[in-house]
């Protein structure tokens, strides 16, 4: 029975590898005070018909019909609706944890896009921050270490980033005893299996919630691990050889 489950897992993984190798994709996260979409992998194509693949295309792909809107203005292409919310307080968006100039900014396969609705409607102080890892897996009882970084601007409005100290870590929306140190680092341990979302909050600050998804499982038997590794490497080699030959 267990071997059958392992085999099923291998097939699913290989199909995923094959699909990812052929399709251009990006990862999209959206928040409105709290995350509403996390690391969603979407196909990247020119959906707005401007002849290139951009931040706008990724956000179109991440939404159902009627949930997203955009328009051209004197300041460039801008969001008018995000995740169904038409916000007078505005929106922000980052690519690979760096700010964008416009929705027209070009992106490539493998990039990550984070769009959010400002929740501070008075001073617009929402602070963007991010972990050094957006997704990982762990074994039950294993320690994992993350680094939290805060984005900002200097006196000349140049983009800056710095370690975020003193932030409280949340797991699936609940505050924990974990806090980031002076280097922005924190070590977290999971005592049970499951899917978890790590984020952070900080007293006196409005944060654009950073996200890291964690899949926690028991350790497979050594033979199963070896079996999965060998099959995966063989399949990956075939995919790579095929792409080289096509070129």
Listing DSSP states for 67-129 in one string gives S-EEEEETTEEEEEEBTTB--TT-EEEEETTEE-S-TT-B--TT-EEEEEE---TTT--PEEE
Q: Could you report how far apart the first and last alpha carbons of the chain are, in Å?
A: 42
Check residue 128 and give its pLDDT: 98
Whole-prediction pTM: 0.80
At which residue do the structure tokens 């020119």 appear? Answer: 46
CA count, 13 A, side-chain hemisphere, 176? 18
List b or e across 92-108, with b for residues whose CB sees 16 or more CB atoms inside 10 angstroms. bbbbebeebeebbbebe
Q: Give me the mean pLDDT over the 135-156 stretch.
A: 95
pLDDT at 89: 78
pLDDT at residue 236, rounded to an integer: 59
- pLDDT (tens digit per residue) in 7-45: 555 556 566 555 545 689 999 999 999 999 999 999 999
Cα 213 from chain centre = 8
CA distance 92 to 105: 13
Task: Say what percent of the chain tops pLDDT 70.
Answer: 80
The DSSP output letter for 136 is E
Q: Is the pLDDT higher at 240 or at 82? A: 82
Q: How many CA atoms lie within 13 A of 40 on its CB side?
A: 19
Block residue for tokens 């870590």 = 169
Could you tell me the domains of the chain? 1-124 (2.170.130.30), 125-221 (2.60.40.10)
């Amino acid at each position: 029975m267990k071997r059958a489950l392992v085999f099923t897992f291998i097939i699913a993984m290989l199909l995923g590898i094959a699909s990812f190798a052929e399709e251009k994709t990006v990862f999209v996260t959206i928040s409105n005070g709290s995350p509403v979409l996390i690391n969603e992998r979407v196909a990247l194509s020119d959906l707005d018909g401007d002849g290139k693949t951009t931040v706008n295309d990724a956000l179109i792909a991440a939404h159902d019909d009627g949930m997203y809107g955009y328009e051209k203005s004197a300041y460039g292409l801008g969001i008018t609706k995000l995740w169904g919310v038409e916000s007078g307080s505005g929106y922000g968006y980052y690519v690979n944890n760096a700010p964008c100039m416009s929705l027209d900014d070009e992106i490539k396969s493998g990039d990550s896009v984070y769009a959010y609705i400002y929740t501070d409607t008075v001073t617009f102080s929402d602070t963007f921050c991010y972990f050094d890892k957006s997704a990982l897996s762990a074994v039950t009882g294993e320690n994992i270490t993350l680094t939290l970084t805060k984005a900002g601007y200097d006196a000349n409005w140049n983009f800056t980033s710095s370690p975020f100290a003193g932030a409280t870590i949340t797991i699936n929306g609940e505050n924990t005893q974990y806090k980031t140190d002076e280097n922005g680092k924190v070590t977290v341990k999971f005592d049970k299996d499951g899917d978890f979302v790590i984020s952070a909050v900080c007293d006196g600050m409005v944060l654009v919630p950073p996200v890291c998804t964690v899949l926690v499982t028991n350790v497979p038997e050594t033979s199963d691990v070896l079996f999965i590794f060998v099959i995966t490497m063989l399949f990956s080699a075939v995919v790579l050889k095929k792409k080289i030959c096509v070129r």
